[in-house]
Structure formats: C-alpha cells, structure tokens
A = this chain, B = another copy of it.
C-alpha cells in the first residue's frame, strides 16, 4: 500500500495529512478548470466526506500558504484555485469567463499581442510581487533578495496571487 503521492506532498510541506486536505488536493490536481472555493466545496462534497465551508477555506489557505496551490482572483468573480505547479500564466476568456493556462514561453505574446496559435490578445496585465520603494529600503542588504522567478515558499503570508 504505497502511500499515495498526495500524502507525501502534504508531509513534505509540513502539513498534517487529513481527509479534507487529501480530498481538496486530489480534486484540484485532477482538473484544469480553476474552480472557485464554492466549486471545490460542492465537488468534494459530492464524492466524499462532506466538508464544512470553513474547512474548504481553511484547507485552501493552508495549501496556498505552502505553495501547493495558487489562488487567482479573476475579473469581478470569486477567487479561483489552481494546483498547477511550475510557471504558467492565465488567459481569461472574454466570452465565457473560462480561465485557460498559458505556458510561460508564450510570454513573448507581450511584444506582439497574438498567441502562437494566432488568437488575438486584447489586453494583458502584468503584476509583480515584490517590495515597493519604501519597503525595499528597509529590507536592504538582507539575504532574501533576488531569488529568481516563479517560486513560493512555505510561511509566506501572501495567499493570493495579485491581479491587475
């Protein structure tokens, strides 16, 4: 009975392994739909242990805190969650609102406004997670600086990606 990979993931991040966490993580890992908290709740409850709403949020926050999941706030709707690891970005459909993953390399779209497959991009939004001029000075000279791009570390206070 090999310990399912998800258990290891949780343990490796210092989280206790619990039913709710496994259920939520399994659901998120198995979809590319960028579900909202509500969708996570009903999906998980439909085929499982029945979690309270608060638990869904607790679990999602915990997972985001340790970097197993990212939260993205899209348009005017509720926050959506994404268990995809690795660098990628998002295309929000102007038509149906669906969120599509965009591979990192497609970043070059910035200079052209057209996706590799020819689809047009009307606008793009870039948001950086860093320190503003004021706060930057305070932290000056610490070991923290200049870690490269997409990564997240346990203990970060920031739970959600920032949006444009």
Which of A's residues lie within 8 Å of B, judged by CB? 70, 72-76, 79, 89-96, 98, 100, 102, 107, 109-110, 113-115, 119-136, 138-139, 144-152, 157-164
A73 in complex: contacting residue of B70, B76, B89, B152, CB < 8 Å: B76
B123 touches A92 (CB 8 A): no
B125 and A161 form a contact (CB under 8 A): yes
Bound-state CA distance A133–B116 (Å) is 12
Q: Is the CB of B120 within 8 A of A147?
A: yes
Main secondary structure of the interface of A (DSSP, over half): mixed
Q: Which of B124, B130, B163 is A120 in contact with, Cβ under 8 Å?
A: B130
Contact among B95, B126, B163 with A124 in the assembled complex (CB-CB below 8 Å): B126
Known interface pairs A119-B136, A126-B107, A150-B123; A73-B131 also in contact (CB < 8 Å): no
Asked if B164 and A94 make an inter-chain contact with CB atoms under 8 angstroms apart, the answer reads: no
Closest 3 CB pairs of A and B: A163-B163, A95-B135, A93-B132
A146→B76 CA distance, assembly (Å): 25
From known contacts A123-B150, A123-B152, A164-B72, infer whether A109 and B128 are also in contact, taking CB-CB under 8 Å. yes
Specify which of B95, B132, B152, B163 is in contact with A164 (CB 8 Å cutoff).
Answer: B163
Who on chain B is nearest to A137 by CB?
A: B119
Q: Are B96 and A134 in contact (CB under 8 A)?
A: yes
A57 to chain B, nearest CB (A): 11
B138 near A92: Cβ-Cβ < 8 Å:
no
B134 touches A151 (CB 8 A): no
Are B96 and A132 within 8 A (Cβ)?
yes
Q: A134-B96, A148-B113 are in contact. Are A162 and B125 (CB under 8 A)?
A: yes
